[in-house]
A and B are shown apart, each in its own frame.
Chain A
Amino acid sequence: DTGVSQNPRHKITKRGQNVTFRCDPISEHNRLYWYRQTLGQGPEFLTYFQNEAQLEKSRLLSDRFSAERPKGSFSTLEIQRTEQGDSAMYLCASSLGGTGEETQYFGPGTRLLVL
């Protein structure tokens, strides 16, 4: 399967702990995106990478959130000092990196539950 992969698929943590999620995009895809989705809502954009450069961050991405894509391949999203409000599905997507109408392909997501 050469689609977008995310690990772990599920994460349960206690409030105040740090968590890190990984996303492996489709190979040769230059663009990588992180979204967050809560129950009953559509995904909300968090941040976007073009290769290793983080080009846009949503206001949803508080100081406790950090994302990296060190070599322009996989990406990590870290949440420090988790809060119960961080409980959500975290989705990663990738695209080839051409024009604006290109398709974004999503991974299966990482479901986070903060107790």
Chain B
Amino acid sequence: LAKTTQPISMDSYEGQEVNITCSHNNIATNDYITWYQQFPSQGPRFIIQGYKTKVTNEVASLFIPADRKSSTLSLPRVSLSDTAVYYCLVPSTDSWGKLQFGAGTQVVVTP
């Protein structure tokens, strides 16, 4: 499994853009990069997944450089409800996509 490293915490104000960078130096050729969001006392919620370049959905954007050794989750114009823990994962594609969670990044949005 590709190990990921991401900041422990990030603070932001409402309306700002939040960018969380994750490093995954030993990512394999077929591996995807997946991000989950988790609120207190809830299960993780899938946000976005990508393989290369840029992926965008209604919640976030994911930027992946050509070497794929890192990726950046971008949350546009955050609100208080975006306060959560964000996990960067690289599920293994050689079996069944085992998820290995780290401690994640605690994002705190204040008014």
Q: Which residues of A contact B (CB under 8 A)?
A: 4, 31, 33, 35, 40-45, 48, 50, 55-56, 89, 91, 93, 95, 99-109, 111
B15-52 vs A, CB cutoff 8 Å, 1 = contact: the mask equals 00000000000000011101010000111111001010
Known: A35-B99, A104-B99. 18 other contacts (CB 8 A): A41-B101, A42-B104, A43-B44, A43-B101, A44-B101, A45-B100, A89-B41, A99-B93, A100-B30, A100-B95, A101-B31, A101-B34, A101-B49, A101-B97, A103-B49, A104-B97, A106-B44, A106-B45
CA–CA, A99 and B51, complex, Å = 14
Q: List 6 A-B contacts (CB under 8 A).
A: A4-B43, A40-B103, A42-B87, A91-B43, A101-B93, A109-B43
Given the interface contacts A42-B87, A103-B46, does A48 sit within 8 Å of B96 by beta carbon? Answer: yes
B79 cross-chain contacts in A, Cβ below 8 A: none
Main secondary structure of the interface of B (DSSP, over half): loop
CB contact between A45 and one of B42, B44, B99 (< 8 Å): that residue: B99
CA–CA, A35 and B99, complex, Å = 10
CA–CA, A108 and B93, complex, Å = 26
How many B residues have CB within 8 A of the partner chain?
Answer: 29
CB contact between B101 and one of A42, A55, A56, A109 (< 8 Å): that residue: A42
| Any A CB within 8 A of the CB of B7 | no
B51 cross-chain contacts in A, Cβ below 8 A: 101
| Any A CB within 8 A of the CB of B92 | yes
The reply to whether B100 and A107 contact each other, CB–CB distance below 8 Å, is: no
Given the interface contacts A43-B101, A91-B43, does A101 sit within 8 Å of B32 by beta carbon? Answer: yes
